[in-house]
């Protein structure tokens, strides 16, 4: 850190209680209800997949990170968030590799916490999606009464071997059935999360609540999710109005990984803009890209790529949206 990076202010100073580990562990705590809900919906496979993703992230952090960096909780968030974007039936070794990739390539290669350009969890997911496209898009339906203990896929496939076909009902995600079969899903199912999909992209209501708690504690900039959701809503409404073939705003907002992405991925403290104006632009960009990919792209879901693309623009957003220093006139206005 050079001298110019130091924050120089006049006294008196008021110490804030927030430290990086405290914020990170608060985020982890806010994820607990989502994890529990996912476990409720998808059964025993959920803790297994999450544990494998966490183990991968932890192993990479332990092997390549600075000593003690495991304790700051950021690796745990990455592991959990990655796990929540995976389908329940994914073989555990894939989840482990995804976790290790997230931390190793997504974070540590850039220099560790605070240096990474892209959201590590999403990078891990993008890697898994590109590596194992079939396993990553096999979506088991939520558990029905009594089969909580049944695995939702061949979780225990031997490392580097493909999954055996398992007697589990799979189905398209709401977005998939909308895109490829033009079939909508009832809004109550989307709100509660009783649909097929990855672990954390099911109950929109719960994610909204947990994210709201973080926003209240000011651990995430509420402008990012607000801007993402607003731009998706506006764009979807306009398109639905022009051509009813396109899904309406409510479906777009509640389906897929949009809630989890908007609340937990896009708001990552490291990879989102530091200025408020930057946050609005960032969110709007994500929203537009999500709608574009969902409606006209080859994939059913586009939240992951939308956020990753906007992550790449964050340094520019930060530069463009620097607030004017108080008491200094803008260069153009100078005599």
Partner 1 sequence: MSPETPPAALHCGAPAAAPTSPRRAVTPREDLARGFWRENPVLIQLLGLCPTLAVTNTVANSIVMALATFGVLVGSSLLVSTFKRWIPNEVRITSYILIIATFVTIAEMVLQALVPDIYKALGPFVALIVVNCIILGRQEAFAGRNPVGRSVLDAVGMGIGFTIALLIMGSVREVLGSGTFLGVSLFGPRYEPWVVMILPPGGFFTLAFVLLAIAWWTQRKAVRAKAAEPRALAAAERAA
Q: Of 5-13, 155-163, 210-218, 255-263, which part binds partner 1 (CB under 8 A)?
A: 155-163
Question: Angle between the 74-84 and 20-42 helix axes, to the nearest 10 degrees?
Answer: 20
Tracing tokens 């979506």 back to the chain, one arrives at 139
> Does residue 304 interact with partner 1 by CB under 8 A?
no
Q: Interaction with partner 1 in 253-272: which residues (CB under 8 A)?
A: none
> Does residue 38 interact with partner 1 by CB under 8 A?
no
The DSSP code for 5 is G
Q: How far is the CB of 232 from partner 1 (least distance, A)?
A: 28
> Does residue 162 interact with partner 1 by CB under 8 A?
yes
Q: How far is the CB of 98 from partner 1 (least distance, A)?
A: 12
Q: Of 159-167, 205-213, 232-240, 297-305, which part binds partner 1 (CB under 8 A)?
A: 159-167
Q: How far is the CB of 91 from partner 1 (least distance, A)?
A: 8
* Of 250 and 309, CB closest to partner 1: 309
| Cα separation of the two ends of the chain | 36
> Does residue 131 interact with partner 1 by CB under 8 A?
yes
Spell out the alpha helix ranges (H) of 243-275: 249-254, 258-260
Q: How far is the CB of 125 from partner 1 (least distance, A)?
A: 12
Q: Of 16-24, 36-44, 129-137, 302-310, which part binds partner 1 (CB under 8 A)?
A: 129-137
Count of C-beta atoms within a 10 Å radius of residue 108: 22
CB 32 within 8 A of CB 39: no
Residue 170, SS3 per DSSP: strand
Q: In angstroms, rounded to a whole number, what is the distance separating the alpha carbons of residues 207 and 62?
A: 30
CA of residue 11 relative to chain centroid, distance: 39
Q: Interaction with partner 1 in 96-115: which residues (CB under 8 A)?
A: 105
| Binding footprint of partner 1 on the chain (CB under 8 A) | 91, 94, 105, 127, 130-133, 135, 157-158, 160-163
């Amino acid at each position: 850190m050079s001298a110019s990076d130091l924050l120089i202010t006049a006294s008196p100073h008021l110490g804030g209680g927030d430290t990086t580990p405290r914020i990170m562990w608060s985020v982890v705590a806010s994820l607990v209800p989502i994890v529990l809900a996912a476990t409720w919906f998808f059964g025993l496979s959920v803790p297994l997949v999450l544990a494998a993703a966490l183990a991968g992230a932890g192993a990479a952090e332990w092997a390549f990170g600075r000593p003690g960096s495991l304790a700051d909780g950021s690796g745990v968030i990455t592991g959990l968030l990655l796990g929540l974007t995976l389908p329940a039936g994914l073989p555990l070794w894939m989840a482990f590799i995804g976790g290790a990739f997230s931390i190793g390539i997504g974070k540590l290669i850039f220099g560790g916490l605070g240096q990474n350009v892209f959201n590590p969890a999403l990078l891990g997911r993008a890697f898994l999606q590109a590596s194992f496209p079939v396993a990553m898009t096999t979506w088991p339906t939520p558990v029905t009464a009594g089969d909580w203990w049944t695995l939702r896929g061949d979780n225990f496939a031997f490392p580097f071997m493909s999954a055996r076909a398992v007697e589990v009902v799979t189905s398209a995600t709401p977005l998939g059935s909308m895109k490829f079969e033009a079939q909508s899903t009832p809004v109550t199912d989307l709100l509660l999360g009783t649909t097929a999909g990855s672990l954390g992209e099911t109950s929109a209501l719960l994610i909204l609540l947990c994210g709201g708690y973080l926003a209240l504690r000011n651990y995430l900039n509420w402008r990012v999710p607000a801007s993402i959701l607003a731009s998706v809503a506006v764009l979807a409404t306009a398109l639905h109005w022009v051509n009813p073939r396109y899904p309406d705003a409510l479906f777009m907002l509640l389906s897929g990984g949009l809630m989890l992405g908007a609340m937990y991925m896009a708001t990552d403290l490291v990879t989102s803009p530091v200025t408020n104006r930057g946050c609005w632009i960032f969110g709007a960009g994500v929203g537009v890209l999500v709608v574009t990919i969902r409606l006209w792209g080859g994939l059913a879901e586009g939240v992951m790529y939308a956020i990753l693309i906007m992550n790449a623009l964050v340094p520019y957003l930060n530069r463009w949206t620097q607030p004017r220093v108080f008491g200094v006139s803008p260069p153009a206005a100078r005599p």
